[in-house]
Amino acid sequence: MLKVTNLTKIFGGLKAVDGASLEVGQGRIVALIGPNGAGKTTLFACIAGFLPINQGRVELLGQDITGMKVHDIARLGMVRTFQITQPFAKLTVLENIAVGSHQLHARRADALAHARTVAERVGMPAAMLDQPAAELTVAGRKRLELARALATEPKLLLLDEVMAGLNPQEIVEIIGIIRKIRDGGVTILLIEHVMHAVMSLSEHIYVLSYGKIIAQGAPKDIVNNRDVVEAYLGRGAAEQMAAAEGQHA
Ligand SMILES: Nc1ncnc2c1ncn2[C@@H]1O[C@H](COP(=O)(O)OP(=O)(O)OP(=O)(O)O)[C@@H](O)[C@H]1O
Ligand SMILES: [Mg+2]
């Protein structure tokens, strides 16, 4: 579905993404994790055409899309959500979702009808739909962000921290919704800091640190990976943790 090869993105003197490669197979849920500032959002922006890249190649469904425009990439079936949600504040929730629906439904009435079905898919209560987007809670805004992306009927959805700021109950709900979206045929690549959600949802995990993919594998391998532990907790952390575990044993 998606193949990223040796992608590099430089901001001034900073290599925000440094030769990163990853693959997402059709129908999978794959996670991209890593410490704050590792370059995850930048990598998403590069993949989805929001930022020009310095080096590398992006393929979607076997087609080279490197350097293509956001809208053309979306038309081919890949869209992203934003870590910092930015709905049209004065439009209602439903109208916001319909912005995405307009790609496939030229008539306003059709777009709004489609938006309603999308709202249902992300578990939005009907009462929420006529509210101005500005009045939504954090959880509501995250749902809306997801719905707006889904409304373009993507084949591949890039989710950037859709669980940030949610309470445990809301996280449980959104995990179920993401799984349902995938079961409906949408491939998913997600950035997430909520680790139990990453572990329960994803089939494969890539770990980014200082712009480089430092590890990849099944969830159970990643939690025990020493490079990963150190990337999150600092150098020597893996030894300290192993030693601490030894003392408890
Ligand atoms: N537009 C930009 N111009 C310059 N530097 C940037 C820009 N966007 C991001 N950066 C820098 O690139 C690095 C990677 O940032 P990025 O937002 O991709 O990290 P992240 O892994 O998504 O972090 P977080 O988990 O906090 O969201 C950071 O050092 C950041 O300050
Ligand atoms: Mg980010």
Q: Mind listing the pLDDT tens digit for each residue in 137-170?
A: 999 999 999 999 999 999 999 999 999 999 999 9
Using a cut of 0.85, tell me whether the model's pTM lies above it: yes
- How far from the centroid of its chain's Cα atoms is residue 60's Cα? 16
Q: Domain residues of the chain, as ranges?
A: 2-84+154-217
Q: Closest Cα to atom 2, ligand 1: which residue?
A: 11
Q: Which helix (H) or strand (E) holds 52?
A: none
Ligand 1 close to Cβ of residue 240 (< 6 A): no
Residue 37 CA to ligand 1 centre (angstroms): 5
Mutate to test the pocket of ligand 1, among 42, 83, 161 (most ligand atoms within 8 A of CB): 42
Distance CA 103, CA 151 (A): 9
Q: Mind listing the pLDDT tens digit for each residue in 53-70?
A: 999 999 999 999 999 999
What pLDDT is attached to residue 236? 67
> Which has the closest alpha carbon to 55: 2, 8, 10, 16?
8
> What order of strands is seen across the sheet that includes strand 78-80?
78-80, 156-160, 187-191, 29-33, 204-209, 212-217
What pLDDT is attached to residue 53? 97
CATH topology of domain 2-84+154-217: Rossmann fold (3.40.50)
- How far from the centroid of its chain's Cα atoms is residue 222's Cα? 19
What average pLDDT does the structure give for the chain? 92
Kindly tell me the sign of the dihedral angle through the C-alpha atoms of 154, 155, 161, 163.
positive
Q: Which atom of ligand 1 is nearest to the CA of 51?
A: 1
Ligand 1 close to Cβ of residue 21 (< 6 A): no
What pLDDT is attached to residue 230? 83
Ligand 1 close to Cβ of residue 40 (< 6 A): yes
Ligand 1 close to Cβ of residue 11 (< 6 A): yes
The string of DSSP codes covering 100-128 is HHTTT--SHHHHHHHHHHHHHHTT--GGG
Mutate to test the pocket of ligand 1, among 40, 50, 53, 210 (most ligand atoms within 8 A of CB): 40
Q: Closest Cα to atom 1, ligand 1: which residue?
A: 11
